[in-house]
Amino acid sequence: MASAPKTTSAFLGAALVSAAMALPSVQFANADAPPERGTVSLKYLNYQDSQTGDTAVTAGMSRDRIAVNALSMMVIAPIAGEWSIGAALMEDSITGASPAYHSSGFPATKAVSGASGELRHAGDLDLTRYFSKGSVTFGTSYSMESDYISRGASLQGSLSTEDKNTTFTVGGSFSDDTIKLNTPNVVDVKKRVEDGQKHVVAGLFGVTKVLSKSDIVQFNLGYSKGTGYFTDPYKDPDNRPRDRNNTTFFTRWNHHFNGTDGTARLSYRYYTDTFGIRAHTLGAEYVQPLQNGWTLTPLFRLYTQSEADFYVAASAAEKANPSRATLPSASDLYYTEDQRLSAFGALTAGLKISKQLNKDWLVDLKIEKYEQRENWSLNGRGDPGVAAFHAKSVQAGVSRQF
């Protein structure tokens, strides 16, 4: 249960989540036995997002926001028949700027200079010991960029029943992040005084059940407790609580079709936190093997969330002219105009194509398109002052077993 490295890209918006999910710098899945062969893979990701103006001033206008180019390498190998080790390294470059508030930037960009030309290096390392009925994995992660450093550690164990049909998983993780508020790029001079610290402790309990030769279900319950600096230093005004706890419920069902040899993967995730956000994610993909080593995997994802309790919606004046920011009330203790904390809905559609060249080599290509709109929210009223958000990502990879 290695914690994913934190980064300035965490400030880029919800759309980047779908792109980040394609990267191999995530935990290595536990299994009942160590892998028979080792695997080394190399992946390249290109991500670009943009916004389209919807107000009288910005109607029909479109502006690119964030561009990400990431190169990553992952290695996993068996050791002495009872162990495996996995490592992932990644370098990504981020250019462009996210809105300073709401959908500002049309026609004049209010750029986040700290997000321009950003370079990040990140790495994960996992070590797993396998037993007859389960496994134990220790993981560690590190991520560094000019204004953000993250360190993480995790421990996860699994235990299977005698018939191997049910597996219980328990895990915990800890992350220690440093936000460098003394960088000259930080918008608010008051926030340049000292570094900000953030600590997150998380736990997970899961059950995986084999229902039949064709069906597997999984249920996970997670809880995370965070303390420290959660304010976005590149947005002004912005002031958020120093505590953020969240609870997540996740379930997945995989069904194999004997007639086509394809597999459907359906998932649902519910998220709630002390900021007041309630979110639902529904995912579906279908893996279809074809002749000559080809595999097609279409995917679809639906996401919706409510707004944070302290989100400040765009005023009528700002809707008419996005350069006029909506200021919070003097009585507000916490406030944000960050559109990622507003209510919205989003759709992701994609297609992955892979080709098994021989028993050792595999190549793949994955394309995703993301769109986010305030009026697509199913569990909260969106902010009409937030423009439609678009993103697209292309990922290419090659892997070899040894």
Q: What is the mean pLDDT of the chain?
A: 85
- Is residue 360 scored above 80 in pLDDT? yes
Query: What pLDDT sits at residue 381?
Result: 80
**Which token pair is 33?**
């036995």
Q: How far is CA 234 from the centre of its chain?
A: 20
- Is residue 71 scored above 90 in pLDDT? yes
Q: How far is CA 38 from the centre of its chain?
A: 27
- pLDDT band at 189; cut points 50, 70, 90: low
Percentage of the residues of the chain whose pLDDT score is greater than 70:
81
Lowest mean pLDDT across 44-53, 245-254, 328-337, 373-382: 328-337
Query: What pLDDT sits at residue 24?
Result: 37
Sign of CA dihedral 183, 202, 94, 89: positive
Interval 9-38 mean pLDDT: 50
Query: What pLDDT sits at residue 265?
Result: 98
Q: How many CB atoms lie within 10 A of CB 396?
A: 14
Residue for token pair 């769109």: 371
Rg of the chain on CA atoms, in Å:
22
Query: What pLDDT sits at residue 227?
Result: 97
- Is residue 16 scored above 60 in pLDDT? no
Write the CB contacts of 220 (distance below 8 Å, at least 6 apart in sequence).
Answer: 169, 204, 205, 206, 207, 248, 249, 250, 251
- pLDDT band at 6; cut points 50, 70, 90: very low
Give the HSE-up count for residue 401: Cα atoms under 13 Å, Cβ half-sphere: 11
Lowest mean pLDDT across 109-113, 136-140, 247-251, 397-401: 109-113
How many distinct helices (H) and strands (E) make up the chain?
2, 16
- pLDDT band at 173; cut points 50, 70, 90: very high
Contact 327, 369 (CB under 8 A): no
Contact 374, 319 (CB under 8 A): no
Q: What is the pLDDT of residues 85-96, one digit of tens each?
A: 999 999 999 888
Q: Which domains does the chain have, with CATH numbers?
A: 8-401 (2.40.160.40)
CA dist 335 and 227 (Å) reads 18
Beta-bridged to residue 401, according to DSSP, are: 39
DSSP letter at 35 equals -
Interval 106-116 mean pLDDT: 40
Q: What is the pLDDT of residues 192-218, one digit of tens each?
A: 556 789 999 999 999 999 999 999 999
- Is residue 249 scored above 50 in pLDDT? yes
The secondary element (H helix, E strand) that includes residue 16 is: helix 15-20
Percentage of the residues of the chain whose pLDDT score is greater than 90:
66
- Is residue 23 scored above 70 in pLDDT? no
Interval 152-173 mean pLDDT: 96
For the residues of 307-318, what is the DSSP string, one character each?
Answer: PPTTB-PPPHHH
Q: What is the pLDDT of residues 307-353, one digit of tens each?
A: 999 999 887 777 666 666 677 776 778 999 899 999 999 999 999 99
- Is residue 69 scored above 80 in pLDDT? yes
Mean pLDDT highest for which of 19-33, 177-191, 199-213, 381-395?
199-213
Task: Please choose, from the candidates 64, 90, 81, the residue with its C-alpha nearest in 3D space to the C-alpha of residue 2.
Answer: 90
Query: What pLDDT sits at residue 386?
Result: 87
- pLDDT band at 102; cut points 50, 70, 90: confident
Query: What pLDDT sits at residue 234?
Result: 80
Q: What is the pLDDT of residues 277-307, one digit of tens each?
A: 999 999 999 999 999 999 999 999 999 999 9
